[in-house]
Amino acid sequence: MPSRSATAGPFNRSWGAYAFLAPALLILFLSLLLPAIATIGMSFTDISFLRPANWVGLDNYFRLMADGRFQQAIGNTMYYTLGVTFPTMALGLLAAVALNRKFPFRIVFRTIFYLPVLTSLIAAAVVWVYLYEPYSGPVNGLFVSLGLGPQPWLSSPNLAMMALIIMAVWRDFGTAMIIYLAGLQDIPEEIYEAARLDGASKFSILWRITVPMLGSVTFYLMIILIVQSFQVFGAIYVMTGGGPLGSTETIVFQMYQTAFGYTEFGYSAAMSTVLFFVILLFSLVGTKIMRRGEG
Amino acid sequence: MEKQNKTGLNRRQLLLGVAAGSLTLGLGGSIGRAFGQDQQLVFWSQFAGSKRVAGEALEAAFKEAHPERNLVSTLYAEPPQLNEKILTSINGNTAPDLFVQHWDYNLTYAAADRMLDLGEALSVSIDDLDPSLLAYGHINGAQYSVPMYGTSRGIGFNRAHVVEAGLDPENPPKTWAEFRDWAIALTKRQESGFLERAGFSLFHNDLEAWEVFTLFLQGAGGKLLNDDLSAPSFAGPEGVKALTFLKGLLIDDRVSDLGFGLGPGGLASPFNTARAAMIIAGNYSTNNALRAGIEFAVAPIPMENGGFTSLVDPFCYAIPRDAKNIEGAVAFVEFALSPEQQVAFAVESKNVPVLKSAQQDPAVQADPYLSKFVETASYAPQEAPAIPAFSRMVTIIARAVQEAMFGRASVEDALSAAAAEVQTILDRG
């Protein structure tokens, strides 16, 4: 049987580290964990912040299951997340590979590609509304000059989400590019040299060396983009208001509307809890796939 | 040592002095703050945008008339922004003494019994106020909010387009049939079918989709809810007739395109860029249309077989039940409802005053647009769909209107499904 001093030893030896971590842990607990626990707790009530709250058990969750609008919001969120995540990563990777080579003005190109990330989301969204303007907007101007008809980008239930995805990819692929550029610096040049000596084509080098060796970066980026996309709100608020016909209403947008528009904070908390577990599930599945890949 | 004590303070004296000074400052500050807070009248205002100048003038006039009241106001740009603040402040016991907000939010707070009954608190005669505007602040048998002003709806049209189409701007439509003729005549399409100008731009967002449907529902003799506001009545024959008429304008008569003009309004809206000849207009449309150089004119909204209808949309004062300075808040509302302030606010902001005598004041009537909106306000029903779930009902009806327009559901099915959904919400309470 181990002695008490033996089991207490590691803690006693690390108390200094715990002491240094304590302030950060306290802030994290107060700002992150406590609100998260409170939100989960609220999801079992009918809290409105105006009346005394009642315990309603799983009623909010049963309501969610039967709520067609919430199901539509889940579908919209998935569509948006997939639509943004993978094109952003692909474009980011291509831009990073291209700008990792040495050529004149590459810093200028890197800056230009990264600029949308630095732009205020709301300002960018307002500009994109004008770009998409169906009658005098430049996007439709381009379409017409190519012999294609003008499209009702933000006013068609079939096109509005796609229009939002295009804007998000434009805005986010600079982030992917920077992260991939950092990852590319870690790939030893010798590997590329060996591949070239073996006569590998440029595509083979990209596909068989660069992409696999950026695996951990790709995974990190994917999780970041998925979490970010699941939480989209600002662009939708400005550009479509969730319409037309709810085609751009995502979970977070619906949460906001339910909480502050309809003062149903309990129901909104249930939506938030579902979103939390969906994101957690995605993260866990991603981690598992990644570990299997590394194995 | 003794010499030192004679020439300066010793440590004990210094500490005593610091302690006494701190106590004096602390007590003085606390008393001062407490005194100041007793006198403060905290007002959260939504007099923004076109109402900002009028709101500032009102506050300045109140300060001048009541120098003893320390009015501290904060301006919020949009009703949802103010709503977020009010919800959290009510919950945190930091609510203001008074606020002015879009009426439907006030009903939500009032339904939870968090507001003062102004019918009892104010000494203003309720009979002097416009009943159609006042109805929006009445819930559970009490007047929980009182309007400062309202907007009303009419047909806004571009006079130049009307003349160009060979129509008489002095003789606007008086029935649905005439309205349809106008909308068709005003529509301009290229040979390719490309819409150059909508004869009638139906709606640009959910709220307007609800609004245009409600106006035509009323035009067909229907209303949104039954008399005791316990059940929806918009899916009946009148609702079907109204939505069928609107759908006919869009699909059969092609007076506009599906989704035309959806998006942000303001100066870039189809009407203000001369790409739409007619819209449902409110007082708020005036300034932007004139700034955009549109020959703006307003006419009442025709009912199906003659007569007119309208909607009013008030912004109302409300006082939290637990406000610290109820007396000051009541004084401000009574001041704002005085004839002079009502006229001054209306003329500056171009909104319909709630005071009936102010609506007929020569200064109000001298404004060609304001007087027209005062007239259209008189066609609004005297009762209001004053339910706490109003904003949810708007979303549901707007969705039904668009489902029918986009062909996702028949008119009857869309309205029936919406009515069932509204009933569920009303039953939930």
pLDDT tens digits along B272-299 = 889 999 999 998 888 889 988 999 999 9
Q: Is residue B286 domain-shared with residue B360, that is, in the same domain?
A: no
Q: What angle do CA B348, B349, B354 make, to 5 degrees?
A: 105
In tens, the pLDDT along B52-91 reads: 999 999 999 999 999 989 999 999 988 889 998 998 888 8
Cα A215 to Cα B306: distance, rounded to the nearest angstrom: 72
Is residue A277 situated within a structural domain?
yes
Residue B87, chain A, CB below 8 Å: the answer is yes
Is residue B64 situated within a structural domain?
yes
CB-based contact A50 B264, cutoff 8 Å: no
Is residue A33 situated within a structural domain?
no
Is residue B29 situated within a structural domain?
no
Q: How far is CA B218 from CA B151, B213, B259, B308, in A?
A: 17, 9, 24, 9
CB-based contact A49 B257, cutoff 8 Å: no
Would you call B7 exposed, middle or buried from its count of C-beta atoms within 10 A (0-12, 13-18, 19+)? exposed
The CATH number assigned to the domain holding A261 equals 1.10.3720.10
pLDDT at A2 over 80: no
Token digits of residue A133: 């303007």
Please tell me whether residue A232 adopts helix, strand or coil conformation.
coil
What pLDDT is attached to residue B1?
A: 38
Number of domains in chain A: 1
Q: How confident is the model at residue B29 (pLDDT cuts 50, 70, 90)?
A: low
Is residue B293 situated within a structural domain?
yes
Residues in a beta bridge with B40? B70
Q: Is residue B71 domain-shared with residue B209, that is, in the same domain?
A: no
What pLDDT is attached to residue B165?
A: 95
Q: Is residue B218 domain-shared with residue B320, that is, in the same domain?
A: no
Number of domains in chain B: 2
Q: Is residue B195 domain-shared with residue B253, that is, in the same domain?
A: yes
Q: Is residue B233 domain-shared with residue B360, that is, in the same domain?
A: no
Q: What is the mean pLDDT of chain B?
A: 88
In tens, the pLDDT along B367-424 reads: 999 999 999 999 999 989 999 889 889 999 999 999 999 899 999 999 999 999 999 9
* Chain A residues 108-127 with CB within 8 Å of chain B: 126
Instruction: Average the pLDDT over B314-330 and give the result.
Output: 93
Is residue A248 situated within a structural domain?
yes
Quick count: other Cβ atoms within 10 Å of Cβ B233? 16
- With beta carbons under 8 A apart, name residues in chain B contacting A126: 264
Q: Is residue B237 domain-shared with residue B262, that is, in the same domain?
A: yes
Residue B258, chain A, CB below 8 Å: the answer is yes
Token digits of residue B417: 């499904």
Q: Is residue B145 domain-shared with residue B53, that is, in the same domain?
A: yes
Among A203, A172, A77, A244, which residue's Cα sits nearest to residue B208? A244
What pLDDT is attached to residue A180?
A: 93
The CATH number assigned to the domain holding B219 equals 3.40.190.10
Is residue A150 situated within a structural domain?
yes
Q: Read out DSSP for B220-269? A: TT--SB-TTSSSB-TTSHHHHHHHHHHHIIIIIS-SS-TTTT-S--GGGS
Is residue A203 situated within a structural domain?
yes
Q: How confident is the model at residue B22 (pLDDT cuts 50, 70, 90)?
A: low
Q: Is residue B47 domain-shared with residue B124, that is, in the same domain?
A: yes
Is residue A254 situated within a structural domain?
yes
Cα B365 to Cα A254: distance, rounded to the nearest angstrom: 44
> Measured in whole angstroms, how far is the alpha carbon of residue B242 from the centre of its chain?
24
pLDDT at B3 over 60: no
Q: Is residue B406 domain-shared with residue B285, that is, in the same domain?
A: yes
What pLDDT is attached to residue B14?
A: 55
Q: What is the CA radius of gyration of chain A?
A: 24
End-to-end CA distance of chain B: 82
Quick count: other Cβ atoms within 10 Å of Cβ A83? 18
Q: Read out DSSP for B327-340? A: HHHHHHHHHHTSHH
* C-alpha distance from B275 to closest chain A C-alpha (Å): 10
Is residue B81 situated within a structural domain?
yes
Residues in a beta bridge with A1? none
Domain that holds residue A265: 69-294
Q: Is residue B304 domain-shared with residue B320, that is, in the same domain?
A: no
Q: How confident is the model at residue A238 (pLDDT cuts 50, 70, 90)?
A: confident
Amino acid at B218: Q
* C-alpha distance from A139 to closest chain B C-alpha (Å): 16
Antiparallel, parallel or unpaired: β B142-143 and B146-158: unpaired
Rounded to the nearest 10 degrees, the angle between the axes of helix B103-111 and helix B390-405 is 130
Q: Which of B356, B377, B398 is the last residue of a domain?
A: B377
Quick count: other Cβ atoms within 10 Å of Cβ B168? 8
- With beta carbons under 8 A apart, name residues in chain B contacting A48: 112
* C-alpha distance from B376 to closest chain A C-alpha (Å): 29
Of A135, A240, A260, nearest to B83 by CB-CB distance is A260
Please report, to the nearest 10 degrees, the dihedral formed by the alpha carbons of residues B23, B24, B28, B34 taken in order.
Answer: 20
Cα B129 to Cα B140: distance, rounded to the nearest angstrom: 20
Please tell me whether residue A131 adopts helix, strand or coil conformation.
helix
Asked whether the beta carbons of B198 and B257 are under 8 A apart, the reply is yes
Tell me which of B195, B392, B401, B408 to substitute to probe the interface with A (most A C-beta atoms closer than 10 Å).
B392
Is residue A58 situated within a structural domain?
no
Q: Which of B355, B377, B399 is the last residue of a domain?
A: B377
Q: What is the mean pLDDT of chain A?
A: 88
Asked whether the beta carbons of B146 and B354 are under 8 A apart, the reply is yes
Domain that holds residue B117: 36-151+313-377
Q: What is the pTM of this model?
A: 0.82
Q: Is residue B139 domain-shared with residue B256, that is, in the same domain?
A: no
Residue B420, chain A, CB below 8 Å: the answer is no
Chain A CA closest to residue B408: A245
Of B392, B402, B403, nearest to A262 by CB-CB distance is B392
Q: Is residue B203 domain-shared with residue B297, that is, in the same domain?
A: yes
How many residue contacts between A and B have a Cβ separation below 8 Å? 73
CB-based contact A129 B263, cutoff 8 Å: yes
Is residue A97 situated within a structural domain?
yes
Of B112, B258, B406, nearest to A48 by CB-CB distance is B112
Of B84, B205, B259, nearest to A241 by CB-CB distance is B205
In tens, the pLDDT along B90-102 reads: 888 889 999 999 9
Torsion sign over Cα B135, B136, B139, B145: negative
CB-based contact B90 A49, cutoff 8 Å: yes
Quick count: other Cβ atoms within 10 Å of Cβ A281? 10
Is residue B28 situated within a structural domain?
no
CB-based contact A262 B399, cutoff 8 Å: no
